[in-house]
Amino acid sequence: MPDLRKKKPIPLVSDLSLVQSRKAGITSALATRTSLKDEELKNHVYKKTLQALIYPISCTTPHNFEVWTATTPTYCYECEGLLWGIARQGMRCSECGVKCHEKCQDLLNADCLQRAAEKSSKHGAEDRTQNIIMAMKDRMKIRERNKPEIFDLIRDIFVISKMAHAQQMKTIKQSVLDGTSKWSAKITINVVCAQGLQAKDKTGSSDPYVTAQVGKTKKRTKTIYGNLNPVWEEKFHFECHNSSDRIKVRVWDEDDDIKSRVKQRLKRESDDFLGQTIIEVRTLSGEMDVWYNLEKRTDKSAVSGAIRLQISVEIKGEEKVAPYHIQYTCLHENEFHYLVDVQGSGMVKIPDAKGDDAWKVYFDEVAQEIVDEFAMRYGIESIYQAMTHFACLSSKYMCPGVPAVMSTLLANINAYYAHTTASTNVSASDRFSASNFGKERFVKLLDQLHNSLRIDLSMYRNNFPASSPDRLQDLKSTVDLLTSITFFRMKVQELQSPPRASQVVKDCVKACLNSTYEYIFNNCQELYSREYQADPAKKGEEQPEEQGPSIKNLDFWSKLITLIVSIIEEDKNSYTPCLNQFPQELNVGKISAEVMWNLFAQDMKYAMEEHDKNRLCKSADYMNLHFKVKWLYNEYVKELPFFKSRVPEYPAWFEPFVIQWLDENEEVSRDFLHGALERDKKDGFQQTSEHALFSCSVVDVFSQLNQSFEIIKKLECPDPQIVGHYMKRFAKTISNVLLSYSDIISNDFTNYCSKEKVPCILINNIQQLRVQLEKMFEAMGGKDLNVEASDILKELQIKLNNVLDDLSRVFATSFQPHIEECVKQMGDILSQVKGTGNVPASACSSVAQDADNVLQPIMDFLDRNLSLFAKICEKTVLKRVLKELWKLVMNTMEKTIVLPPLTDQTGRVKLVCHTDGTQLIFNAAKELGQLSKLKDHMVREEAKSLSPKQCAVVELALDTIKQYFHAGGVGLKKTFLEKSPALQSLHYALSLYTQATDTLIKTFVQSQNAQGSGVDDPVGEVSIHVEIFTHPNTGEHKVTVKVVAANDLKWQTSGIFRPFVEVNIIGPHLSDRKRKFATKSKNNSWAPKYNETFPFTLSSEVGPESYELQLCVKDYCFAREDRSVGMAVMQLKDIVSRGSVACWLPLGKRIHMDETGLTVLRILSQRNNDEVAKEFVKLKSDTRSVEEGR
């Protein structure tokens, strides 16, 4: 078989261990940590770290505040506001003397000891200074003694020798004791702009300006009038000699009115306060570009917005040193490198922290204290710490537990920038742009991390195996991290339409599934053997050389389906609960089913096309595969949104093979049929049970057909068109099998008619076929069944119905000799009934007795057989048999008793069958045409004419027979019996017996309207002119017939042809009138001219419509009977309205008549003493004579 996929196998799933997968984390190019190699920077950071940890901010001596009364105007050290009041205006530290508002005391964060030492040295208090210095020394010694692990860790992080470390510790301690006496710095502040300021003027705006103060030096920007988002872009330069100083930046609304002048007098502040930000000088280094939220000065302040400052600091002796943020990055990266790569062998240890601020804990207690104290000492924001740690973790993001930490970190970073407070109107994008970490750096980090996450998610089966709960949790966290990146792009970067996390994960899942399918396809045999081979002995067997599909068998596809199911189940049960962040958009199990099915469908369709060309496998194998594919679709694919409203394609792949199976199944069904019939025949067609009236062959045949149908039904084909094809083909099978059954039964049926029960059971079998067929029709869909299949089954039902009728007829006909014998005996008994009086049957008891006597022979027969039929035949079959017997009895009585056939001189019955009644009349006419035979006929048939009493006996007998066939409702319906043509014909014949000859002739004329029609092959034509005249007084009718000519006579004779035209008037009341005229003959003329006129006088009792003219062209013969050439009939009712007519009449070979005319003719033929009757019979029975030479 051609390769479905010419692709190399790729390692996937269990073939790759997690250890062999790509190393956890982004590439070195992504998370470059240059600080690890910058020895100069590391050495400086090492010193700064020691300085921050030996005398940490968190352990500084707190101020000793006391309530204090100012005697002169005094201003708060923190907020520079006036200490209001007459007494006890504020708070004062008894150690260092700093003064402030009571509400501002918690804002002072400078170390009291350092401040006291500096103040004492400036005022010459040497003893006090030495005491303070000794206290600081003791504190540092205690710190070094109690926390040696901190300093050991710092030494290990920066790889410093013990000797160098000891020397450096001394130097650092001295620098702490020196305090700020040897410290100085140059500070440049660029006030760039502000956003979202509070409106203070009545106009709904403000006139903002900024004051910047370092120590005692204060500078002011220009005023921007009427603007809440002002831009200043003004630089100020300061010199600072105290590291404990703070930069105070305040924003004001300029006012120039009486109120502002009064405020200037009292508070040294004439303008409205818009907000402030206080920056510790010790936290500054290098260059910074930062947005600061404007904060309140008192609880009553109405403040909003933020201000952007660009600050540059040059510390004496550290002009070339990197800013503190860079130094912190160096510390954090080196600490992370030591703890993870050196101590942890590449594995990240996740600290055990709980609470709302757990995300700010990056390391264990000792390492965390190092970075926190450094950040606190040098003013590193917690958000910068978080972003730095996030960058470090990005190099190890595939380590266990790391994705969850990164996800939490990024979520809090997002919250910091995106969730702005009510006091600021700065956009998240602008706040992020001013980040000390660097906008482009963090964005690039996230972009590369995003790409790496996509790559790893595209191999989630390898990187996050379902067998590992911890890795599954990491997978969930990885998706959360991806979601956080998307949120960052949307809310912080404010991108318009970043890729949705759900869509990214969905694409990754699809990519993984594509490669998974490719792998299991290319390694199907090996994987199946390894995962599902139960027999250990078989596991060791060599795999077939051909790993892919083959046209010789279908094993590959069954194994592939098993592997596909295992993949879908794993995704459904393991990965779907894990990746549940997007319940409405992402369901891994459903995506797995969809992707796997689409790929499988593509290959399966092509494979089935190849198999269709070769057909090397058994149809049963294809059917089994069809069932497996159907199960796969129904179990996993059917309810997916994409497929829910679509008709699947898979039934079309297997349609040729299902049709092949149905073709083979028909042969199997036929063979089964013959076997079932042979067994049934051998058993003598016994009933299957006491209540079942049919034999076992019917049950066997339909059991086999139902089994076949159940298989088709279980395919549950969802394509209506293909179902229609299946049903059509199966309907043909049903038709062929059942017709074969009925043909076999029909062919052998006559052989069983002599047996007592077998014929009934065989007919029951055919009826049971019809019953079962109806059930099968409903099971196949009933009214909704495919039109072609439905037509086939309906046609089959009709055929079986016809077979049932035929068998019933044959079965009934088998009793014909017995019935004829019984009816003959009835006729003999009837002939002995005397009396000619017209007595009503109901009024004469002798008629009832005679009727019982006449019925005795037929009743004996019916009693003997009908009771047997009622027990053995099914109800439908019984009625059909009764109908046939009824018709047979009625017809036989009509032929034998009422209208017996004519016999020749030997006594042989000329015609027996009722259907040959027309020929009977013709033969009778031949006999009547010969006077000698007519006389014999009259003598023989005279006794067969029924008297009125005999007719009454027959009528009463018919009522009894009718009641017998009705059988109290069990048999035939009364309406059927009453309306049956056979009974009506018999009744009609009996009614005609009592009518006069004139009445019968009138009935014949009025009912036979097509005697001369339908002349397909005329033997000539005759031209006549007819006139009708009615006398106004007497009412007598006269008819004048002028025979003009004959034409185109077709006649052959060896002698002289002497044609003449005989004209007869036919109708009632003509016994005493002239009824026949004839023209003169013409010698050897086949188109003779006559022009002879003949008058007929009609009775006045009836109108002309009861009469007709019959013309016959004859060949005159001397000394023997004239020979008839052709004849024509004209009924006077056709010309009464016109009064006269001239026309050409075509000559036919005989007169046409229906059953009524035939019955009248048969009755009149028995009236041998009636001249009018004999003449009428002779006219109507006449046919064209045989020509000479023919």
Q: How far is CA 285 from CA 261, 302, 1117, in A?
A: 40, 32, 157
Q: Give the residue carrying structure tokens 């300085």.
A: 51
User: What is the C-alpha to C-alpha distance for residues 517 and 524, in angstroms, rounded to an integer?
Assistant: 10
Query: Sheet holding 217-220: strands in order across?
Result: 217-220, 208-214, 246-253, 272-280
Q: Which pairing describes strands 1089-1098 and 1140-1146: parallel, antiparallel, or unpaired?
A: unpaired
Q: pTM score > 0.75 for this model? A: no
| Encoded tokens for 182 | 């040897």
User: What is the C-alpha to C-alpha distance for residues 1037 and 1035, in angstroms, rounded to an integer?
Assistant: 6
Reference 1128, options 1151, 1107, 1106, 1105; nearest CA is 1151
Task: Report which secondary-structure segment, H or E, holds 496.
Answer: none
8-state DSSP, 497: S
Contact between 532 and 515 (Cβ < 8 Å):
no
Exposure pattern of 129-168 as b/e (b: 16+ CB <10 Å)? beebbeebeebbeebeeebeebbebbbebbebeeeebeeb
**Distance in angstroms between the alpha carbons of the first and the last residue of the chain:** 78
Which runs of E-coded beta strand occur in 915-986?
none
Q: 126 exposed, middle or buried (CB, 10 Å; 0-12, 13-18, 19+)?
A: exposed
Contact between 215 and 287 (Cβ < 8 Å):
no
Reference 685, options 771, 750, 746, 764; nearest CA is 764
How many other CB atoms sit within 10 Å of the CB of residue 17? 10
Q: Give the residue carrying structure tokens 């497996």.
A: 628
Q: How far is CA 926 from CA 604, 661, 1106, 1177, in A?
A: 83, 67, 27, 10
Task: Report which secondary-structure segment, H or E, holds 292.
Answer: strand 286-293
How many other CB atoms sit within 10 Å of the CB of residue 127? 8
The backbone torsions φ and ψ at residue 290, rounded to the nearest 5 degrees and listed phi first, read: -135, 140
The backbone torsions φ and ψ at residue 135, rounded to the nearest 5 degrees and listed phi first, read: -65, -40
How many other CB atoms sit within 10 Å of the CB of residue 402? 23
User: What is the C-alpha to C-alpha distance for residues 77 and 246, in angstroms, rounded to an integer?
Assistant: 10
| Encoded tokens for 347 | 């594995």
Contact between 364 and 349 (Cβ < 8 Å):
yes
What per-residue confidence (pLDDT) applies to 839?
56
In the chain, which stretches have pLDDT less than 70? 1-34, 58-62, 79-80, 106-129, 132, 179-182, 257-270, 317-320, 420-426, 533-547, 690, 835-844, 900-945, 1013-1014, 1188-1190
User: What is the C-alpha to C-alpha distance for residues 357 and 340, in angstroms, rounded to an integer?
Assistant: 23
- pLDDT tens for residues 1030-1066? 888 887 889 999 999 999 999 888 888 899 999 999 9
| Encoded tokens for 882 | 């009764």
Identity of residue 1157: G
Longest dimension (CA), the chain: 191
Please enumerate in sequence order all residues whose Cβ is within 8 A of that of 231, keeping only pairs 6 or more positions apart, or say none: 192, 193, 224
Q: Give the residue carrying structure tokens 């018919």.
A: 958
User: What is the C-alpha to C-alpha distance for residues 441 and 447, in angstroms, rounded to an integer?
Assistant: 10
Q: 927 exposed, middle or buried (CB, 10 Å; 0-12, 13-18, 19+)?
A: buried
User: What is the C-alpha to C-alpha distance for residues 1095 and 1114, in angstroms, rounded to an integer?
Assistant: 20
User: What is the C-alpha to C-alpha distance for residues 398 and 478, in angstroms, rounded to an integer?
Assistant: 9
Please enumerate in sequence order all residues whose Cβ is within 8 A of that of 1056, keeping only pairs 6 or more positions apart, or say none: 1083, 1084
HSE (side-chain half, CA atoms, 13 Å) at 184 = 4
Reference 367, options 317, 399, 333; nearest CA is 333
